[in-house]
């Protein structure tokens, strides 16, 4: 599939490259073991390349695979271009000020978020990151990172605020969030911080590319009770399947298996169905805000 990489992020190119290389290998009927033996690679090198997990990809490695797979010159050139993007472009979060703050899981998440055309998230405990105010973020990090220098916490706040520029790009991210009602009542930083935070949600949700819905307590049992998650979809000119991201205290997980992704997408669709619509949800947010 020929695509324009001029506006593509390195993450998007890595994911597309890995997907296409895996399809080419399977089309040739080759196992990973057979390929790495031919190239004298470690098994993990090919796995990481096919999963799009390497920070950069060497064009020479891509060309070596293309030779084994018998790829024609046009396709090989496109694949080499994907690899070149990973070598010549930098993600915004790779800036020196942010790099020390991010583990591998955080980097993977930010790469997917910055590359996605659509993000859909369910959160049960806190306001989604793309909707948070600086004061709300600051309180979260002050609590979670007890003992860290103040300047490091401010860098974390800056990182979160910089993430939100994704709404200013062209085209902007299409973002849908469903949150548990408890998120509105949990006073992170006290009434004044929460009042400003709820006002921020209302402000952002007024944009045509953003929807926010709230699962009221009265709904009772629902499928989101299994935990928070985010699904990402990508540009149509990149033939990438949706990806699910999960985050817990100790680690991050990325789910790609069709059955897993479908289960989470179905869950989000159901949450949107059982929750009041966006306007009614914003009315609920306003009511909680007025009571603070």
Beta bridge partners of 210: 175
Predicted confidence pLDDT, tens digits, the chain (292 residues): 456 677 789 999 999 999 999 999 999 999 999 999 999 999 999 999 999 988 899 999 999 999 999 999 999 999 999 999 999 999 998 898 898 888 888 898 999 999 999 999 999 999 999 999 999 999 998 888 767 788 989 999 999 999 999 999 989 999 999 999 999 999 999 999 999 999 999 999 999 999 999 999 999 999 999 999 999 999 888 889 999 999 876 678 899 999 999 999 999 999 999 999 999 999 999 999 999 8
- Which run of H or of E encompasses 46? helix 43-51
Cα separation, 194 vs 285, in Å, equals 11
* b/e map 56-70, b = 16+ CB within 10 Å: ebebebbeebbeebe
202 contact partners, CB below 8 Å, separation of at least 6: 282, 285, 286, 289
Specify whether the CB–CB gap between 124 and 180 falls below 8 A.
Answer: yes
| pLDDT value of residue 145 | 73
Cα 193 → chain centroid: 26
Cα separation, 205 vs 282, in Å, equals 8
* b/e map 200-219, b = 16+ CB within 10 Å: bbeebbeeeebbbbbbeeee
Provide the token pair at 250. 């100790």
232 contact partners, CB below 8 Å, separation of at least 6: 112, 113, 115, 116, 118, 119, 242, 243, 244, 245
| pLDDT value of residue 146 | 67
- Which run of H or of E encompasses 213? strand 210-215
> 36-41: long-range contacts at Cβ-Cβ below 8 A with a sequence spacing of 24 or more?
38/68, 39/64, 39/65, 39/68
Beta bridge partners of 214: 179
Provide the token pair at 102. 């991010």
Nearest residue to 9 via CA among 169, 153, 134:
169
| pLDDT value of residue 3 | 62
Cα separation, 67 vs 48, in Å, equals 19
């Amino acid at each position: 599939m020929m695509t324009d990489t001029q506006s593509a992020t390195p993450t998007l190119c890595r994911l597309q490259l890995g997907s296409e290389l895996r399809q080419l290998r399977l089309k040739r009927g080759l196992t990973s073991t057979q390929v790495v033996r031919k190239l004298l690679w470690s098994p993990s090198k090919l796995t990481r390349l096919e999963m799009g997990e390497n920070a950069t990809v060497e064009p020479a490695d891509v060309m070596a695979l293309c030779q084994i797979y018998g790829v024609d010159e046009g396709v090989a050139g496109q694949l080499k271009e994907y690899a070149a993007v990973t070598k010549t472009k930098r993600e915004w979060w790779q800036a020196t000020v942010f790099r020390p703050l991010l583990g591998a899981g955080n980097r993977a998440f930010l790469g997917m978020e910055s590359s996605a055309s659509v993000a859909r998230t369910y959160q049960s405990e806190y306001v989604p990151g793309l909707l948070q105010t600086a004061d709300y973020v600051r309180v979260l990090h002050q609590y979670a990172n007890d003992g860290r220098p103040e300047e490091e916490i401010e860098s974390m706040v800056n990182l979160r605020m910089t993430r939100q520029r994704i709404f200013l790009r062209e085209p902007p991210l299409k973002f849908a969030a469903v949150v548990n009602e408890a998120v509105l009542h949990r006073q992170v930083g006290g009434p004044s911080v929460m009042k400003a935070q709820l006002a921020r949600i209302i402000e952002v949700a007024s944009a045509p590319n953003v929807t926010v819905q709230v699962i009221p307590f009265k709904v009772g049992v629902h499928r989101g009770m299994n935990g928070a998650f985010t699904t990402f979809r990508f540009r149509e000119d990149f033939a990438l399947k949706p990806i699910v991201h999960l985050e817990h205290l100790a680690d991050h997980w990325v789910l790609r298996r069709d059955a897993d992704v479908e289960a989470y997408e179905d869950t989000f669709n159901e949450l949107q169905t059982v929750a009041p619509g966006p306007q009614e949800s914003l009315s609920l947010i306003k009511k909680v805000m007025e009571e603070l």
